[in-house]
Amino acid sequence: MPYKVFGCKVNKFFLNQWLNFYEKEKISLGNTLLIDTCVVTDRAKHKRIKEAKDYIAKGGEVLIT
């Protein structure tokens, strides 16, 4: 499963929690991009929106946490 992290170390920690959960439960999200992002900074907001739009335009799905 492809993924992107925008933000701080806390975001990376939580992303690893999600990835471990999906692996443990044997959940495959196929063509879904998992984005773990900061909601505090505008920079992270603009990056995640662009990344999500680009991925969706290519026919993928996006899950933002």
Model pLDDT for residues 5-60, shown as the tens digit of each residue: 877 788 888 888 988 998 999 988 888 998 888 777 777 678 788 889 999 999 99
Residues with Cβ within 8 Å of 11's Cβ and at least 6 positions away in sequence, in order, are 5, 36, 37, 38
Total structural domains within the chain = 1
Per-residue pLDDT at 64 exceeds 90: no
- β-strand pairing of 61-64 with 32-37: parallel
Domain hosting 47: range is 3-64
